[in-house]
Amino acid sequence: MSLSTPESRRRMESLDREALAEHQLQRLNDLLTRVLPDNQFYSDKLASAPQRLEHLDQLQDLPITTKEELIPEEAAQFLPTNLTWPLEAYTRYHQTSGTRGRPLSVCDTPEDWAWWVDSWQYVLDAAEITEADRALLAFSFGPFIGFWSANDALVKRGVLTVPGGGMSTLARLDLLQRTEATALFCTPTYALRLVEVAEQHQVNLQHFAVRKIVVAGEPGGSVPATRERIESAWNARVTDHSGASEIGPWGYGNQDGDGLHVLESEFIAEFLSVETGQPADEDQLSHLLLTSLGRAGMPVVRYRTGDLVRPAWSTDGPNRFVLLRGGVLGRADDMMVIRGVNVFPSSIEQILRSFPEVVEFRLTARKRGAMDELIVEVEDRLRQPERIAKELELRLGLRVEVRLAEAASLPRFEAKGARFVDRRM
């Protein structure tokens, strides 16, 4: 079924679980048939698996893929290990940020990139982007995949697309105003950074034409307090999106703004319970595994994303794709266990963003003996960190040290925010 029309996308979203599973199984078998003869990585990894699955449950018997496996052992080698064809077949190169180790190169064929662009149409549908909009993309346009595919998806939709790379924040605000852009694409952190700079320069965002904001790169778009702060400052509606360089654009926000739908026509999602390691039940804290169905040049099968989520399966309504309540709750590596309580940076962010006087913050995790310890630094216009500590204790059931940081002393970010410093190693 084509992704090229709104009608076909709505039909895919409305499939019941049985029909969706049949679609996914066919796509998966087609992918394996196509790539296994040429893809050395997966022909070795799946050597003992059946060449064709008879039912989708058999996917659970295949081995899990990790990011570490995709990075070549030799530092001098830059190509990922899971490429299917010689490099001459590829026309797009990007790489991950490398914040958690060596950067991972990602390559796409023209066909793969067209799949990226088509998959992004679901995100644009959710954000109600039309050809009447003007969209500014506030990201660097460097080697990180960022909003590159969004740019091409917008162009395909017929949207006037304004690149905002290589500019200061003030210059981007000026460009937003001069072009009368109605849609803004950026990270949640940068949407708030634009607000801060606008306030510093007495720029009234309420007079801007922006009414639609698509955010990605961080959990903030599904963190209610962060979302509400962005929407209030811009007088605009926020749509969350989640994707990964090595996987594709796999998730998009629902109309209520309380979670992310997995794009199940293009990805198979699996959920493994954090507690048991077995397939998770509804609303259970889970590791998210994804299989990309439309990327033959750099496939991933049962890829451990590192994200922790809570799945919910809908049996009615216009969109039956699985919903991740609260979006991506955090990275598995970032989860802290403080006096027996599981704590995510996104949970702290939700509380801190509920204080309008908190401009910026930083979380530092460290070990105290065998226990995790958390320190929270805040730029607080009221200079009253005690009230924030009380709220954290009330809502988390934990005493957390909150320190006052001087105004403008904490780092600012134009891409993904790095507010969580992990010193537990």
> Are both 136 and 172 inside the same structural domain?
yes
Asked whether residue 96 falls in the same domain as residue 214, the answer is yes
> What is the CATH number for 414?
3.30.300.30
One domain, residues 305 and 347: no
Domain termination site, one of 298, 329, 360: 329
Rounded to the nearest 10 degrees, the angle between the axes of helix 188-200 and helix 224-234 is: 40
Domain end call among 329, 359, 385 = 329
Closest CA to 307 of 276, 339, 278, 345: 345
- Are residues 219 and 351 both part of a single domain? no
Q: What is the structure's pLDDT at 100?
A: 59
Name the DSSP letter for residue 109.
-
Same domain, 254 and 388: no
> Both 325 and 340 in a single domain?
no
* pLDDT band for position 96 (cuts 50, 70, 90): confident
Q: What is the mean pLDDT of residues 381-389?
A: 97
Q: Give me the mean pLDDT over the 329-342 stretch.
A: 84
Higher pLDDT, residue 369 or 27: 27
Helix and strand numbers (H, E) in the chain are: 11, 21
Residues 253 and 389 reside in one and the same domain = no
User: Hey, is 147 helix, strand or coil?
Assistant: coil
268 lies in the same domain as 405: no
Span 146-168, average pLDDT: 95
Beta bridge partners of 323: 261, 312
**What is the percent of the chain with per-residue pLDDT over 90, rounded to a whole number?**
80
Q: What's residue 1's pLDDT? A: 42
Rg (alpha carbons) of the chain, rounded to whole number: 22
Q: Are residues 180 and 293 in the same domain?
A: yes
Q: Which of 83-92, 172-181, 250-259, 401-410 comes out lowest in average pLDDT?
A: 250-259
Q: Is the pLDDT of residue 414 over 80?
A: no
Both 306 and 345 in one domain: the answer is no
Q: Which of 108, 123, 117 is nearest to 245 (CA)?
A: 108
Tens-place pLDDT, residues 41-90: 999 999 999 989 999 999 999 999 999 999 998 877 889 999 999 999 99
Q: Residue 247: give its domain's CATH number.
A: 3.40.50.12780
Helix locations, 96-234, DSSP H: 110-126, 148-157, 169-179, 188-200, 224-234
Query: Domain range for residue 323?
Result: 1-329
Q: Taking Cα atoms as reference points, which of 144, 77, 112, 152 lies closest to residue 299? A: 112
Interstrand relation of 183-186 and 212-215 (parallel, antiparallel or unpaired):
parallel
Final residue before a domain boundary, out of 329, 352, 372? 329
Bridge partner list, 136: 162, 184
357, 415: one domain: yes
The answer on pLDDT for 2 being more than 50 is no
Residues 16-40 have pLDDT tens digits of 999 999 999 999 999 999 999 999 9
Considering the domain architecture, whether residues 221 and 348 belong to the same structural domain is answered as: no
The SS3 call for residue 226 is helix
Question: Which helix or strand (DSSP H or E) is residue 387 part of?
Answer: helix 385-396
Mean pLDDT for 143-172 is 95
Q: What is the C-alpha separation between 329 and 242, in angstroms, rounded?
A: 12
Higher-pLDDT residue of 413 and 279 is 279
Confidence of residue 334 (pLDDT cuts 50, 70, 90): confident
